Structures are given as C-alpha cells and as structure tokens.
Amino acid sequence: MKDQYILSRFEDIINNVLKFKRVKYTDFLSLAEQKIFEKVILKCKQQDISYILDGGYPLAERKIAIVYHDFLVPEDIPISALRIEEDFSQLSHRDVLGSLLGLGIKRQKIGDIIVKEHKCDILLHKDVENYVLTNLFKVGKREVEVNSISLKDVMAPEIKYKDVFSTVASLRVDSITAAGFGISRTKASELIKSVVAQINWEYVENPSAEIKEGDIISLRGFGRIKLEEIRGKTKKGRISVHILRYL
C-alpha cells in the first residue's frame, strides 16, 4: 500500500513536468524509494525526461530527485547543510533526528545526519533551514548551537562495520541473513516471509532468493549486512563467506 502511494506520487511529479515544462523536486528519498523512483522514470525516458539524484554531498544516502525536461537545466538544488559543534560522545544520530522531528519537521525534509565525536552535520530541505536555525536549541538534554555551512564542507561519514566470517549451506537469502545477523535460519526465513527484508533496497519475501557477492541485505530491526566475499567451499562442501555487518 505504501509503495503504491509512493508510485502514484512519482507519477504525478513526472506528469507535472511533462505538462507544464518545469523542474520539479521531491523531498528526501530513502534508498528503497530511490529504487522505486528510478523504475517509474525509466518508463518515461522516451519523453525527454531527465533526472538527478542528489543528497548534498558525494556519499549521501538519502537524496532528493530533481526531474526536468531535457531542454531545462536545474539552477539550484534545494538542500542546505547545518552544523552543530558539540561533544557527541554522549549523543547519537537518533538523538539528533528525534530533536528535529520534535520540532514538527517531517522525516522527508531531513537528509543524512552525520555524527562524529565533536560535531554533527545535518542535510535538510531548504524550506525548513531557517526554522531549524531559529528553533533547535537542544539535542537530547544538551544545549546546542546550530550554524549554516556550505555543502562542500559537509563531513564524510564514518562507515563502521563488523567482519563476520562464516560457512553456509547455500547462498539463499535466509542462509546469509542468519549468518550475518547471528540468528537461526528458521527465524531469518520467518522474517523474510513477513516482508521486512530488502535485497539492494527492494523488498523480498522468498527465503530461497539467491544472494550475489556485493549484495546488501537490510532487515528491519536488525540493520544491514553485505555479502563482501564468497571465499569458496570447505572440505565438507559448505560455502565460506565474508559478510560485513554495519554498525
């Protein structure tokens, strides 16, 4: 139902661009929403529609889609960056997101939040920038000061992960999920059938779907893993794998 709503929203944006010959912007899209968006717009390529996905900095995960006729050149990207300089050893991404949502800002208006030890960069839709600057005074229980920064000054995120080396009977998604998250294969299979798992940001409900080297599995409530390397077979005929579990 949610995917159908997203699909309809993207179709409306594309039809608006075609009809009125204008540039249109979405709000920030998750990786799964970006996949849906690209499938929708692929159907319209013959109609001289172009698009850009931009999150404000090179490694962005959450991105805005910019849709335009081929003869139009988007002049601006409606993304702003804010920085909080504070001791973040006791604060987290969740604290920052919670404080922003607590101001009444919708999640779709918030891009990536990059937290490091002594500062945090926040990517936002431009139309909520001033509101955040004048209303965000606390993150968690700590008072903070927020300032605008240039998009070129946004920090690169630190990608943290744990190496998991295991052997599996097959490269089925339930086997890799079980090994990567440290749960039973039965539990993994049940979760996949409940449609809470994604392979490369697309929902999967078949536990026997095959996983390839480089594929990323997301499991709601557990996080993400990546099949980094298929290392060959053991003497007992099992498959040796190297999995990255993102922290």
Q: How far apart are CA 208 and CA 172, in angstroms?
A: 5
What count of residues does the chain have? Answer: 247
Q: How far apart are CA 102 and CA 156, in angstroms?
A: 26
Domain spans in the chain, listed from the N-terminal domain onward:
2-69, 79-153, 161-246
> What residues of the chain score a pLDDT lower than 70?
1-3, 44-47
Q: What pTM does this model have?
A: 0.85
pLDDT number for residue 155: 96
Across-strand partners of 172? 210
Architecture of domain 161-246: Roll (3.10)
Q: Which residues contact 217 (CB under 8 A, 6 or more apart)?
A: 173, 176, 177, 180, 197, 198, 199, 211, 224, 225, 226, 227
Q: How far apart are CA 84 and CA 81, in angstroms?
A: 10
Write the secondary structure of the chain as one string of H (helix), E (strand) and C (coil): CHHHHHHHHHHHHHHHHHHHCCCEEEEEECHHHHHHHHHHHHCCHHHCEEEEEECCCCCCCCEEEEEEECCCCCCCCCEEEEEEECCHHHCCHHHHHHHHHHCCCCHHHEEEEEECCCEEEEEEEHHHHHHHHHHCCEECCEECCEEEECHHHCCCCCCCEEEEEEEECCCEHHHHHHHHHCCCHHHHHHHHHCCCEEECCEEECCCCCECCCCCEEEECCCEEEEEEEEEEECCCCCEEEEEEEEC
* Same fold yes or no, 79-153 and 161-246: no
CATH superfamily of 79-153: RRM (RNA recognition motif) domain (3.30.70.330)
pLDDT number for residue 2: 57
Contact 13, 67 (CB under 8 A): yes
CATH code of domain 2-69: 3.30.1370.160
